[in-house]
Amino acid sequence: MQNGISASMMCCDFGQMARDIAALEEAGIEYLHIDVMDGHFVPNLTMGPDVVAAIRRYTHLPLDFHFMTDDPMHWIDVFKPREGDLVAIHAESTPHAARALPMIAATGATPGIALNPGTPLSALDYLAPLSGFVLLMTVNPGYAGQPLAPGSLDKIRDTKAYLGARGLSLPIEVDGNVSCENARKMAAAGADLFVAGTSSVFSKSGTILSGAEALRNAISLGKAGLKSL
């Protein structure tokens, strides 16, 4: 799994998807983030398998699936992740996460465990060893454009410490209000992969290329601050 930026495709212009994907590739984006919402686990519906199939036709970039769904094992079979993809399921979404994570790994994709803002790190106790990364929600999942959830930066720091204390070098992905200002602080707190949406890469105040450049600069500044601590 690489560090870097994962562009949230729910924020792209669906009428100009091919254009936006080409711009994301030009900007050097590492992953395309696929938010899968079922209207049950979160109060929204987003991208289905036909949309994902269309995205696959436009790019060879790996996909970063985020299943905000009940019964994630069902959706693994529906979306058919590939080798090189990332697939995160929520610890809160199923009592069988310890079964679902190996199912994801068997597809060749990297499995990850996601936590909502209010979910304690103890949810990782028996799931982190089965995971290739941890996804921390920094907003309550369901909609783009929300403010940063209180305590998000502390939770990133605490997750970094939690994993280090257990000898786990899992990357930390952050998702929710990843603006340039917040990304710098998130990077300093220990985040590695940044889901970029309307507050950065898809901001209406600039282009995808300029948004990606600004976000990378902010992440680099944060990482430089982390190294100097």
Q: Active site includes 35?
A: yes
Of 20, 35, 64, 85, which is the active-site residue? 35
DSSP code per residue over the chain:
---EEEEEGGGS-GGGHHHHHHHHHHTT--EEEEEEEBSSSSS-B---HHHHHHHHHH--SPEEEEEESSSHHHHHHHH---TT-EEEEETTS-TTHHHHHHHHHHTTSEEEEEE-TTS-GGGGTTTGGG-SEEEEESS-TT-SSPPPPTTHHHHHHHHHHHHHHTT----EEEES---HHHHHHHHHHT--EEEE-TTTTT-TTS-HHHHHHHHHHHHHHHHHHHHT-
Of 38, 85, 175, 192, which is the active-site residue? 175
Q: Active site includes 70?
A: no
The residues annotated as belonging to the active site are 35, 175
